Amino acid sequence: MNHNQQSNDGKHDDDSALSDFLASLMDYTPTIPDELVEHYLAKSGFQCPDVRLIRLVAVATQKFVADVASDSLQHCKARQAAVVKDKRDKQQKDKRLILTMDDLSKSLREYGVNVKQQEYFADSPSTGMDPASRDE
Amino acid sequence: MSLLGDDGRGYDLARLLESCGVWREWLGGSTYASFVHFLSSPSAWESFMRIDDSTSRAQIHLQLRCRALLFDKATVALFLRSHPTNAANNNSSSSTSSSSIDVSKLNPNYLQLHGDDVYFTLEGSSQDGGAASNTAPSKSKSSFSAGSRYVEPEFDSLSQRYRNDELRETWYNQFIEKYKLTRPYKLSLGDRESEKRTPEEMTVYLRTLEKHKRRRVAFQDDLHTGYGNTGLDGNTSVDDDTPFFPETMFLMNCVPDSPLPPTTRVRDKKEIEFFGVLDTLPQVSTRSPVMIERLGIRPEYLNMEQGANINRGKTPRKHLSQEQASQVSRKVIARLLTGVGFEGATEAPVEVFSQFLSCHISKLGRNLKVLTDNYRKQCSAIELIRMFLQTSGYSNFGALAELIKDGTSNLVQQTQQQMHAIQTQLQPQHQNALRMAQQLQMTRQMHPQMQQMVHTQNLSFQQQQQLERMLRRHPSTPCPVMDMADKDRPLVQVKLENPAELPMDNKSSNPINARHQQMQFRQQQLVAMSSLHSQSNNQFRQLLSPQIPQTMNMGGVVRAPPVKVEGFSELMGGDTTLKHEAEENKLTSPTTTK
């Protein structure tokens, strides 16, 4: 009985913590606007007029996207750090951190999203082949 | 068929029918007289039922008629599955005893002739000119309903069949004649013809038919075990005499066009509000002392009634189109990348990232929908939200709370840094251009009415021209929220996010100088606005309230301003009228503040 009471108390504390967290969402404006979140939530069939829930989704998405972006930043920095020393002077001007598709695809792959692009596009199956083998 | 015995002649059943007086009814008086002596002994019965070359035509016909009735009454054994009488008989070794047991258990009422049962006599159709009779003995029902085109010709053929027949006194003729005398022709059920019967009437008819079948139970045990369930004994009751002629053909027009039952109530057109399980999230149980005690501000959602929706009563939000949503997504991604630390991005990653953002929001929406649809009865709103956070990977929402805290603290920190920077360095460079850029930002944040006032009354001509030039040069706003924000919403929310943008937009200028110019401009604007105090609205007051109460001159003494978080009241939300009045006094008499 005591254990049940303790678990009930713990659950009540969790509920109150979650309620306070939801209340704090009203004091914070996520980067993602509420209208945008509502638009995509409505597309998926969910509609809730409560702003706290909209902001909860916005904050969760913001956190998720920020994690992906920070991973991409790490990849970008690692890519720049791996530049050969003698080439550093030439690329001194390009030390700006610019997000490329390469960095993004590497970070998204960790989250199970494959955005790898084709390395090149060929107009026929024999493009790029040796002429001798092409004749065959 | 066990009721007909092993030899299939059915002597016991015939004897039982004789005891009930059925043969006389069935065969008629004259025919019965020539038939009855065959029931005296089993051997006589066997000789009657045997067919050989010596059997006359009349005897064959008589035999067929007897067989028809015997077979019809014995068919009940075909439909018995686990009847206790039958099961006991199957285990018995004696065949005669088994058939006798079955026969003795038959209900006498069942053995009687009824008008709703048609017993085809197995006679050939060559004798009559009517419709061909059914050669196979079957217990089929014919409709005696008047008015049905399927019935009267059949009945006429029946009567026609036996018109020239030697077996004139048939049971059907007698029954119908008797029925005509006692009761007029009446439909079995309902006042309408069967083809015009409604689905409801059809349902009633089928129920009556079912009840009628139950009354006509075959075995006496069924009466007592509840199958009969009406308390009827074997005797003919008044209910059995009720004329009920089941129909054999159910016309198609009794099948309804729609499976939905017809509703006759007036359709209520008023809108009914539906409350989802997540529409009424629990309110905050504890009130923040900061909000209540210091500022007397109560969060807006606490002002609503318990259980009421937060957004109800507000103006409807603007809906985005697909193109607008994708555009806003790209801007959001640009801002997020900037916040993370990127200095730039190519077009493809931004496009991919924005689609990724939209897909993720849609995925979260689908999760929410699945959870609410499946568990709305079992779980409360808080439990559903907890489940949602768990599926999203934030079972411990501390990470989200940290994000919120970091976001809020960064804003405070930036504001404080602005204050310090203005105190230490005063470098008036690029004043006009920066002032116009900031003025553009400020005016866009203002209420349109106030914006118009600023444009027309308070700006000097030169400033107006510069402002117009800026407007023409920078048509797009740097902040996506400003475009999409509702006009009635306080725009201070945008303002909180914007201070970091100024250094990004004007890279050539000193960021510290930009902040200084912003403060200067605000002071000037405030003086201009003081004359319009009576016409301003609450939103504008909130916008002006966090103004720094300082009088900074270009070369004058810099007084340390009070530490104040810009937009603090907007963070807390609510009405800041009281606070604004104090601020106004401070603004008009800055020397009093220290």
List, in order, residues 6 or more apart from B516 with CB less than 8 Å away: B421, B422, B425, B426, B427, B428
Q: Do B346 and A101 touch (CB under 8 A)?
A: yes
Answer whether B278 touches A (CB < 8 Å): yes
pLDDT at B27: 84
Mean pLDDT of B54-72: 86
Q: Do A24 and B401 touch (CB under 8 A)?
A: yes
Higher pLDDT, B86 or B207: B207
Q: Looking at chain B, how many residues does it have?
A: 594
Q: What's the pLDDT band for B542 if we cut at 50, 70, 90? A: very low
B61 pLDDT higher than 70: yes
Max CA-CA distance within chain A? 85
Instruction: Please give the Cα distance from B134 to B112 (Å, whole number).
Output: 22
Residue spans of the domains in chain B: they are 1-80+102-121+167-190, 322-422
SS (H, E, C) B12-68: HHHHHHHHHCHHHHHHCHHHHHHHHHHHCCHHHHHHHHCCCCCCCHHHHHHHHHHHH
B277 pLDDT higher than 90: no
pLDDT at B287: 47
Q: Do B404 and A59 touch (CB under 8 A)?
A: yes
Answer whether B497 touches A (CB < 8 Å): yes
pLDDT at B379: 85
From B335-349, B365-379, B500-514, the region with the lowest mean pLDDT: B500-514
Instruction: Please give the Cα distance from B288 to A99 (Å, whole number).
Output: 42
The one-letter amino acid at A124:
S
Instruction: Please give the Cα distance from B349 to B333 (Å, whole number).
Output: 10
Instruction: Please give the Cα distance from B458 to B443 (Å, whole number).
Output: 12
pLDDT at A1: 60
HSE-up of B560 (CA within 13 Å, CB side)? 3
pLDDT at B305: 41
Answer whether B315 touches A (CB < 8 Å): no
CATH 1.10.20.10: does it fit domain B322-422?
A: yes
pLDDT at A37: 93
From A15-24, B16-25, B528-537, the region with the lowest mean pLDDT: B528-537
B544 pLDDT higher than 70: no
HSE-up of B53 (CA within 13 Å, CB side)? 0
Instruction: Please give the Cα distance from A23 to B515 (Å, whole number).
Output: 32
Q: Of A34, A57, A115, which is closest to B364 when you measure between CB atoms?
A: A57
From A109-113, B143-147, B165-169, the region with the lowest mean pLDDT: B143-147
Higher pLDDT, B46 or B539: B46
Mean pLDDT of B428-444: 54
B518 pLDDT higher than 60: no
Strand, coil or helix: B219: strand
Instruction: Please give the Cα distance from B23 to B36 (Å, whole number).
Output: 8
Mean pLDDT of B518-542: 50
* A residues 91..130 contacting B (CB < 8 A): 96-101, 103-104, 108, 113, 115
Per-residue model confidence as pLDDT tens digits over A42-97: 999 888 888 889 999 999 999 999 999 999 999 999 888 887 555 555 555 557 88
Answer whether A45 touches B (CB < 8 Å): yes
CA B189 to chain CA centroid, nearest Å: 38
SS (H, E, C) B481-548: HHHHCCCCCCCHHHHHHHHHHHHHHCCCCCHHHHHHHHHHHHHHHHHHHHCCHHHCCHHHHHHHCCCC
What burial letters (b/e) apply to A31-62, b meaning 16+ CB within 10 Å?
Answer: bbbbbbbbbbbeebebebbbbbbbbbbbbbbb
ipTM, interface predicted TM-score of the complex: 0.85
Q: Do B336 and A66 touch (CB under 8 A)?
A: yes
Instruction: Please give the Cα distance from B436 to B525 (Å, whole number).
Output: 12
Instruction: Please give the Cα distance from B170 to B177 (Å, whole number).
Output: 11
Q: Are the CB atoms for B42 and B7 separated by under 8 Å?
A: no
Instruction: Tell me the two tokens of residue B585.
Output: 């006094």
Tell me the DSSP string of B110-164: HHS--TT-EE-----SSS-SSSPPPSS--EE-----TT-TTTHHHHHHHHHHTTS
List, in order, residues 6 or more apart from B94 with CB less than 8 Å away: none
Per-residue model confidence as pLDDT tens digits over B69-115: 888 888 887 776 554 444 444 444 444 444 445 678 888 888 888 77
Per-residue model confidence as pLDDT tens digits over B554-579: 444 445 555 655 556 555 655 444 44
pLDDT at B554: 44
> How many beta carbons lie within 10 A of that of residue B72, not counting itself?
18
Instruction: Tell me the two tokens of residue B519.
Output: 């403060």
Measure Cα distances from B5 to B63, B70, B101 in Å. 17, 11, 11
Instruction: Tell me the two tokens of residue B474.
Output: 């920078």
Q: Of B340, B360, B362, which is closest to A69 when you measure between CB atoms?
A: B340
Q: What's the pLDDT band for B156 if we cut at 50, 70, 90? A: very low
Tokens 């949602």, located at residue: B388
pLDDT at B581: 46
Instruction: Please give the Cα distance from B562 to B572 (Å, whole number).
Output: 19
- Closest residue on chain A to B382 (Cα): A15
pLDDT at B370: 92
pLDDT at B25: 84
By CB atoms closer than 10 A (0-12, 13-18, 19+), residue A69 is: buried
pLDDT at B336: 92
Chain A positions touching B297 (Cβ under 8 A) are none
Instruction: Please give the Cα distance from B143 to B158 (Å, whole number).
Output: 12
Sign of CA dihedral B358, B364, B365, B370: positive
Instruction: Please give the Cα distance from B492 to A29 (Å, whole number).
Output: 10
Instruction: Tell me the two tokens of residue B125.
Output: 């159709």
Q: Are the CB atoms for B214 and B230 separated by under 8 Å?
A: yes
Instruction: Choose from A8, A22, A67 for mutation: most chain B CBs within 10 A.
Output: A22
Per-residue model confidence as pLDDT tens digits over B382-397: 888 889 999 988 888 8
Measure Cα distances from A61 to A30, B158, B363, B497 in Å. 10, 83, 10, 18
Tokens 């002392």, located at residue: B289
Look at residues B569, B523, B524, B526 and name the one whose alpha carbon lies nearest to residue B546: B569
B118 pLDDT higher than 90: no
Among residues of chain B, what percentage have pLDDT more than 90? 7
pLDDT at B350: 93
Look at residues B342, B536, B518 and name the one whose alpha carbon lies nearest to residue B458: B536
pLDDT at B562: 59
Higher pLDDT, B292 or B416: B416
Instruction: Choose from B322, B332, B346 for mutation: most chain A CBs within 10 A.
Output: B332
B177 pLDDT higher than 50: yes
Instruction: Please give the Cα distance from B374 to B58 (Å, whole number).
Output: 76
Instruction: Tell me the two tokens of residue B305.
Output: 């009634």
Strand, coil or helix: B297: coil
pLDDT at B579: 46
B362 pLDDT higher than 90: yes
Chain A positions touching B346 (Cβ under 8 A) are 98-101
Tokens 């082949």, located at residue: A129
A128 pLDDT higher than 70: yes
pLDDT at B147: 33
Look at residues B436, B428, B475 and name the one whose alpha carbon lies nearest to residue B459: B436
Instruction: Tell me the two tokens of residue B378.
Output: 């079992």
Whole-prediction pTM:
0.39
Q: What's the pLDDT band for B197 if we cut at 50, 70, 90? A: low
> How many beta carbons lie within 10 A of that of residue B200, not counting itself?
13
Q: Do B342 and A104 touch (CB under 8 A)?
A: no
